[in-house]
Structure 1
Amino acid sequence: MTAEKTSIDTLVVGAGQAGVAMSEHLSTLGVPHLVLERDRIAERWRTGRWDSLVANGPAWHDRFPGLEFDDVDPDAFAGKDRVADYFEAYARKFKAPIRTGVEVTSVVRNVGRPGFVVQTSQGVIEANRVVVATGPFQRPVIPPIAPKEGNIVQIHSADYRNPQQLPEGAVLVVGAGSSGVQIADELQRAGKQVYLSVGPHDRPPRSYRNRDFCWWLGVLGEWDKEVATPGREHVTIAVSGARGGHTIDFRVLAKQGITLTGLTKSFNDGRVAFEVDLAANLAQGDENYLSLLNAADAYIARNGLDLPEEPAARHTLPDPQCVTHPLLELDLVAAGVSSIVWATGYAVDYSWLNVNALDAKGKPSHQRGVSSEPGIYFLGLPWLSRRGSSFIWGVWHDAKHIADHIATQHKYLAYGDASQRQAEARQKARPDASPADSQQLADLLN
């Protein structure tokens, strides 16, 4: 892209799964558009994850409708690089107009005329509409309680790659969603002493009665649930596709050698304090787990399905000592803790989006991705329209809804432009033309 000003109907910012899905639907609808990506297509899958990461859903589920993983068993879990390759291949399939290595630095609404001025690292773009497809994983968050001492290595899960990256010694992993659990498990299997700080979480079975939990959430209507349970909107999900996929069981992790603790509360003088909530958090996770088993059993009975019973799925290990006698404080030096991995999530960053599309807290203000600022759209965010919105298949369906909205607006604008041109042409051709002559000229122009 040259440094000269460029005009486009719709500009899509970001070429991850959301941007690629958006481009496909806009292409199908004939809407002129351009996708800008500051790095490579699906870059976060390649360099924003740890080395051994695989998709948390099976290959038959974690994909777009128009392309399968031809080299991955449908019930297996694709590795992160294979997922990135998948999105690149998908974009090539319909010749997506993606330009990589271009960063968007500012979006400002025009004054007195439609559209937006978009400043980029390679020039200025005029766009009638802008789709923000940068996803929810924009800025890694390390909470302010993090110790300030420099004698402990601290990294966010976004920067963790493998056990060899960390120094000798024990590790405290803070956060027990999918990332924290998988990293803690990998570190322990590599021979490290691991302390895992566990907060509130959902804990679905990896599979039950010969069906993956992704299938169960589908047939039970959970993926399409449009409103989150109050207070549970941001609760993490502990699930893993690692080592062929398995159900996360914190008691098994404890038996394996990981020391579980409650939510991390504070650091002071080389000591870390934990909340007295470990047992409650595990109980809440168990309740979520059992509720899905119960719903699955009821669905099978209601529909007369011939799926094998699985009584072992309801068996649980006794609470380990770290649960019955929870660790409330830990001397980091005495315990040999030399590093902390913060698996504490991400925050969005829309500092470049200088339009009236954010609420007082800087969060997107939208309805199913259509923002409060006409012409601005959001895609790829959790609960954009339903529970599955931030998942690969879910973002594809959300993109279709937004693309339909854009196509409608595009048609209205095109009609207005054509009507104006016709009126100008009629006036220029014959100011005194009769209605019949005017209609004949309009037909010719159309």
Structure 2
Amino acid sequence: MPVEKIDTLVVGAGQAGIALSEHLGSHGVPFLVLEKNRIAEAWRTSRWDALVTNGPVWHDRFPNLEFNGNAPDEFVGKDRVADYIEEYAEMVKAPVRTGVEVLKAKPIEDRAGFHVTTTQGDIEATRIVIATGAFQHPVIPPVVPQTADVAQLHSAQYRNPDQLDDGAVLVVGAGSSGAQIADELNRAGRKVFLSVGPHDRPPRRYRGRDFVWWLGVLGLWDMAAQEPGTEHVTISVSGAYGGQTMDFRRLASEGVTLVGRTESFTDGIMHFADDVRKNVDAGDQNYAQMLDAADAYVTSMGLDLPPDPEARQTWPDPQSLIDPIHDLDLKEMGITTIIWATGFKQDFSWLKVDAFDDKGAPIHQRGVSKEPGVYFLGLPWQSRRGSTFLWGVWHDAKFIADQIAIQRAYADYHGEAAIVLSAAE
């Protein structure tokens, strides 16, 4: 079978691969997108049933296509997002092949380019863009043995309360996924324990504006790098139930029991760090700082945005903060399920190039790898805080496409332009 040849091969047809398709097409770059499942598969099958976007659709979208049929301030469901990405792929005529998995990619020995092995044959590409996203492989910490008498699943495997065995639930992780799942289970009548780690906690709306607007006008979406020590701090925010501020004291008042970071498990007992108050207080401080920054902006710009004193009212301390739980007997508390909202890891083992650090993370500058011809797209903080959002990945994709176009132009140069004839000739 002859080897197929292409200038640029894009691996992954999620939001990153589809955004890049628009920009590569605009530059006239010959390219192909391979997707092992369906377009936007992760949105359809790696999210729980009731998930909605964390931002309103006037903001969380690609610049050139609105969510037609949805109100601008609406938080849409996961299937609507997947449909939207498919609509965009059709609009930009993205050359996507679905059901094709890339098994290995390695440099061609005697010339530029890469030999790519797929489930449907081999491809040679001059350049390769890894657009497989930030959420590849769910991570469950090896804390509780699989032999323990409790069901364990990752938040990516959770679908709805009816999926779980009867009984109480321990949710580990208080980022957006963990907090929303805990809220959903509590509303469904389950007894819920929520393990809370360090987090940021922005207001959903303040003075008539959504927090995504405030991050925009305050320049926080375009922060080019994380502050030292904040690399793994999660953000707890929700668009569920019409959009509301994720307040852990409120959740506790509604029945959720808060505990600290999960540390260890012995003889049926889960052990937690003595930090639940510190983590909740730090989240509250982050919340207050956001309100202060918003108020200062309103004053400096002379905006007519109404004061919002209710936003600064606080819920009373729940018992789980007054008398923190450090040890939890799962059987005694009737806990039959642990949901680990503990993030994901990336796997680039199929890419046989010298482009990673000792932890396996890509070495890159705004997605441009240290390995010539290799690019990454859809990484957290690839160029800014908003890099993993639809609009953020669109801008990162434009930069990557521009770099590819520049390299193609250099490759077309053969030296003639450097010959300057003297006046005498």
Is residue 147–residue 268 contact of structure 1 (8 Å, CA) maintained in 2?
Answer: no
Match of 1:426 in 2: none
1:241-282 Cα deviation digits (max 9, x unpaired): 001100000000000000000000100000001000000001
Q: How does 1:16-415 map to 2 (within 5 A)?
A: 16-415=14-413
Is residue 9–residue 31 contact of structure 1 (8 Å, CA) maintained in 2?
Answer: yes
CA–CA separation in structure 1 for the residues paired with 2:96 and 2:410: 26
Post-superposition shift, 1:145? Answer: 1.2
- Corresponding letter in the other structure for 2:247: D
Post-superposition shift, 1:360? Answer: 1.1
CA–CA separation in structure 2 for the residues paired with 1:413 and 1:271: 63
SS in 1 for 2:413: helix
Post-superposition shift, 1:146? Answer: 2.4
Is residue 276–residue 324 contact of structure 2 (8 Å, CA) maintained in 1?
Answer: yes
CA–CA separation in structure 2 for the residues paired with 1:414 and 1:383: 33
Post-superposition shift, 1:112? Answer: 1.7
Percent identity between matched residues is 63
Is residue 200–residue 235 contact of structure 1 (8 Å, CA) maintained in 2?
Answer: yes
- Corresponding letter in the other structure for 2:330: L
Structure with greater Cα Rg: 1
SS in 2 for 1:353: coil
Is residue 201–residue 238 contact of structure 1 (8 Å, CA) maintained in 2?
Answer: yes
CA–CA separation in structure 2 for the residues paired with 1:259 and 1:235: 22
TM-score normalised per structure 1? 0.92
Match of 1:430 in 2: none
Greater Cα offset, 198-207 or 140-149: 140-149
Is residue 204–residue 245 contact of structure 2 (8 Å, CA) maintained in 1?
Answer: yes
SS in 2 for 1:411: helix
Is residue 13–residue 132 contact of structure 1 (8 Å, CA) maintained in 2?
Answer: yes
Q: Unaligned stretches of 5+ in structure 2?
A: none
1:39-68 Cα deviation digits (max 9, x unpaired): 000000001100000010100011000100
- Corresponding letter in the other structure for 2:232: H
CA–CA separation in structure 2 for the residues paired with 1:46 and 1:4: 35
SS in 2 for 1:108: strand
- Corresponding letter in the other structure for 1:52: A
More helix by share: 1
Match of 1:425 in 2: none
Is residue 139–residue 344 contact of structure 2 (8 Å, CA) maintained in 1?
Answer: yes
SS in 2 for 1:243: helix
Q: Unaligned stretches of 5+ in structure 1?
A: 420-434, 436-446
CA–CA separation in structure 1 for the residues paired with 2:196 and 2:365: 33
- Corresponding letter in the other structure for 1:140: P
CA–CA separation in structure 2 for the residues paired with 1:211 and 1:383: 25
TM-score normalised per structure 2? 0.97
CA–CA separation in structure 2 for the residues paired with 1:142 and 1:197: 14
Post-superposition shift, 1:148? Answer: 3.3
Is residue 173–residue 194 contact of structure 2 (8 Å, CA) maintained in 1?
Answer: yes
Is residue 148–residue 268 contact of structure 2 (8 Å, CA) maintained in 1?
Answer: no
- Corresponding letter in the other structure for 2:209: R
User: When the two structures are aligned, how many residues end up with a matched partner?
Assistant: 417
1:94-123 Cα deviation digits (max 9, x unpaired): 211011000011110111201000111101
- Corresponding letter in the other structure for 1:82: R
- Corresponding letter in the other structure for 1:122: Q
Post-superposition shift, 1:152? Answer: 0.9
The runs of at least 4 aligned residues of structure 1 exceeding 3 Å deviation read none
CA–CA separation in structure 1 for the residues paired with 2:35 and 2:176: 27
- Corresponding letter in the other structure for 1:127: A
- After superposition, the CA RMSD in angstroms is 1.2
- Corresponding letter in the other structure for 2:309: P
Post-superposition shift, 1:415? Answer: 3.3
CA–CA separation in structure 1 for the residues paired with 2:194 and 2:344: 19
1:279-335 Cα deviation digits (max 9, x unpaired): 000111011101110000000000000001101100101111100100000110010
